[in-house]
């Protein structure tokens, strides 16, 4: 019989999200996620299935609970830049989030964020 989870999933999702925001999706390694969460690889994989599963869980959680707008926007930017072109589920999550936004300056915010990500190198 497997051991029970002994961690706060919300805290783990927050740490995972911060790591993706810092390094981008492609720039984030499993070692980065292990270090950020303090969990073992096996715990992360058994809970989320994969790195992609971790990103989807963080994105969904931020969208569903209407978390901090800047955090959600940063995750949306990462998804737009790195994932939506080849991942239908993430594409749909981003599309649905975009249709719920009422801010008239959202295109400007997205454009500025993309430009900043392009100028500031990802990585460690």
Q: Which of 116, 35, 21, 34 is nearest to 68 (CA)?
A: 21
Residues of the chain with pLDDT under 70: 1-5, 118-124
Residue boundaries of the structural domains of the chain: 9-119
Other Cβ atoms within 10 Å of 4 Cβ, number = 5
Other Cβ atoms within 10 Å of 12 Cβ, number = 23
- In degrees to the nearest 10, what's the CA dihedral of 41, 45, 51, 53? -160
- For the domain made up of 9-119, the CATH class stated in words is mainly alpha
Report residue 73 as tokens. 């926007």
pLDDT digits (tens, 9 = 90+) for 53-78: 999 999 999 999 887 888 999 999 99
Sequence-ordered list of residues with C-beta below 8 angstroms from that of 99, at least 6 positions apart, any chain: none
pLDDT of residue 1: 46
Q: Is 95 exposed, middle or buried (0-12, 13-18, 19+ CB in 10 A)?
A: exposed
pLDDT of residue 4: 56
């Amino acid at each position: 019989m497997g051991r029970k989870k002994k961690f706060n999933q919300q805290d783990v999702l927050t740490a995972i999200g911060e790591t993706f925001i810092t390094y981008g999706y492609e720039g984030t390694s499993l070692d980065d996620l292990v270090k950020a969460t303090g969990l073992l690889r096996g715990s992360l994989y058994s809970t989320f299935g994969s790195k992609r599963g971790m990103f989807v869980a963080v994105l969904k959680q931020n969208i569903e609970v209407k978390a901090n707008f800047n955090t959600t926007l940063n995750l949306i930017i990462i998804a737009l830049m790195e994932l939506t072109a080849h991942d239908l589920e993430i594409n749909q999550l981003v599309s649905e989030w975009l249709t719920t936004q009422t801010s008239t300056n959202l295109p400007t915010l997205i454009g500025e964020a993309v430009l900043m990500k392009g100028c500031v190198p990802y990585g460690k």
